[in-house]
Structures are given as C-alpha cells and as structure tokens.
Amino acid sequence: MPELPTPDDIRAAVDRLRGHVRRTPLIYPGSGAFGTDPSVELVLKLESLQHAGSFKARGSFNSALASPPPPSGLIAASGGNHGIAVAHVAQALGVPAEIFVPAISAPVKIERIRQRGATVHVIEGVYDDAQAACDLRQRETGAFSIHPFDAMLTLAGQATMGVELVEQSSQLDAVVVAVGGGGLAAGLALSVPKDVQIICVEPERSQCLRAALDAGERTTVDVSGVAADSLGARTIGDLAFRALEGRVESVLVSEEAIMDARRRLWEEVGVVSETGGATALAALTSGAFVPASGSILNVIVCGSNTDPSDLSL
C-alpha cells in the first residue's frame, strides 16, 4: 500500500520546488466581504496565480524533479489543470509530454496544454476514462506518469502550499478548500497544525469525498456540472481519503452558488477564477458553511484556467 508523505517528504518537496513555483499571495478583502460576519477575518490564498494557473504545478514539479524523466518524457491524465501543469513542467525541463483529457474538459484548458507543447489526446467520457487511456499508453512508451492526486510525490508537492500558508499567517483558525480527487485538501491536512479546521467543499453533482465519508470507505459516484472538469473525480484518491477521513468537515454547494462566487470574486475583488477555483468561496457566500464569530478564515482560490469573457455572467 502506498504511504502518505511524511514530514521529511514534505520538507524535501519544499526544498525541491524552490525556484520552480511561486509563493502565491494572500489578499484581505476587508470586513464583511462577500456578506460574511464582519468579525470574521477573511483571507484569500491565490493559488490561481501559480505557474500554469493552479496549485497543480506544485505536485507536478515535485514529481518530475524527484528523479530525471526518461527520454519518453512525462504523461498524465487530467480534467485540465493537472495537464496544463504537467505540460508546463515538461516544457521547463525540456522533455516531451502526452496529456489525456476527457471530452468534458473546457476548450480553454485543452488549448493551454497545447500551447505548452504537449500532445493532447481527447477521450470520450469523464476523467476516469482519460486515466485508463493514459495508463495504457504509459505501458507502451515507458513515460513517467504523474498522477493528479493519488501519489505520494504529488501530495507532498501540494502540501507545500500548506507549509507556505502557515508561514504567511500570524494565526490560522480554518481553511476552506475545494475537493476533486482530494490532493490539495490532503496536502493541507498533512501540513497545517492539527487544531486548524479544514472545510472540504464539493459541488452537489461531484461529491466523491462526501460519498466516501458517508460510506466509511472509498466509493464511486457519477459526476457532472459546471466544475466537473476540475472537480470531477468519480472516486476520492486512496491516499487522500486516508489523510482526510476523521480530519475534515464536508460541505456541498450548488451549481448556482459556484457561479455566483466566481462572479463575485471578479466583481468585488478583481480575482479571475475558474468554477473549481471559486467552489471553496461558494461555501461562504451561499451560507453552506458559517465560520465561527471572530475567527480567521483562509479560503483557497485554487485555479484560474478559464475564459475571462464570461466572468460577469
């Protein structure tokens, strides 16, 4: 059974990623922002400004830098963001990349993968179908496969965001984070102090973590909806579930809440976000999660790979 990253693994990732990823900023929208209790200090962590437009650059770089990639390069399956990140890493390291994406992926994400020089294979179905095709191709080529969420090196890379967040914060009471396959949330669970509350937010139509928590084991669900390209894993990652079970709170949000949060990020604070990136904030703006009075709350805006022409729709 694969092991979860240890503190030493996470420290190694911090060292490995130095100079390869951005230390993304925190912004403070102000008292009562987005209709929150004025006593709550709301902080946004803008992983949307990370290289390749999402936190995925962390796990991708950590995986690829851990050992030299073979001549056949890198290979990955992705709903979009992970593919952009792996293509970015391959371009930076001067190796080829093949990326498998489901047909539901946003055209803007597919184009951003191609812009970084990777070969893109569009597979009918959802993320799991793209992963199956990717695994078959990897056995043919011997390329180094970087899993988007269910691998130790990926999780250790994502955990560096939590390390960074702790360093940037004088106090941290709770973190709100969107969940797809669970890699970013698991990285937080492994890297922030145990007394920090972690709120995991999923779309009502893509809720593999909630299903697993309810069942007490990993289970497969149907996925659809506006954030399915980035939060559309049908089964929570094994490593992620082991890190998250008993550690986090689960919250679900509607399609409408996600779109409203995305619009408000743009209109109220000028932040460009994709739907998956706005899902964490949607828990607050919709009232699905109500933070404790007087608390310091950090919301992760995890991705910005979107068509900006519809931000105000």
| Parallel/antiparallel/unpaired status of strands 197-203 and 41-46 | unpaired
User: Which of the four pLDDT bands, split at 50, 70 and 90, describes residue 25?
Assistant: very high
Task: Say how many Å lie between the first and final Cα of the chain, rounded.
Answer: 46
pLDDT tens track for 56-87:
999 999 999 999 999 999 999 999 999 999 99
Question: 97: helix, coil or strand?
Answer: strand
| Parallel/antiparallel/unpaired status of strands 26-27 and 41-46 | antiparallel
- Residue 128's pLDDT is what? 87
Residue 165 has pLDDT above 90, yes or no: yes
pLDDT tens track for 126-159:
888 999 999 999 999 999 999 999 999 999 999 9
User: Which of the four pLDDT bands, split at 50, 70 and 90, describes residue 43?
Assistant: very high
Residue 312 has pLDDT above 80, yes or no: no
User: Which of the four pLDDT bands, split at 50, 70 and 90, describes residue 229?
Assistant: confident
Residue 313 has pLDDT above 70, yes or no: no
Instruction: Name the token pair of 32.
Output: 């009562």
In degrees to the nearest 10, what's the CA dihedral of 160, 190, 248, 288? -10
Q: Where are the beta strands (DSSP E) in 94-232?
A: 97-102, 119-123, 144-145, 174-178, 197-203
Query: Average pLDDT, stretch 262-266?
Result: 97
Contacts of residue 280, defined as CB under 8 A and 6 or more positions apart, other chains included, come to: 176, 177, 178, 199, 201, 299, 300, 301, 302
- Residue 311's pLDDT is what? 80
Q: How far is CA 292 from CA 38, 99, 165, 173, 179, in A?
A: 11, 42, 20, 9, 22
Average pLDDT, the chain: 96
User: Which of the four pLDDT bands, split at 50, 70 and 90, describes residue 230?
Assistant: confident
Contacts of residue 117, defined as CB under 8 A and 6 or more positions apart, other chains included, come to: 87, 90, 91, 96, 97
How much of the chain is helix, strand and coil, in % rounded to 5?
45, 15, 40
| Parallel/antiparallel/unpaired status of strands 74-77 and 97-102 | parallel
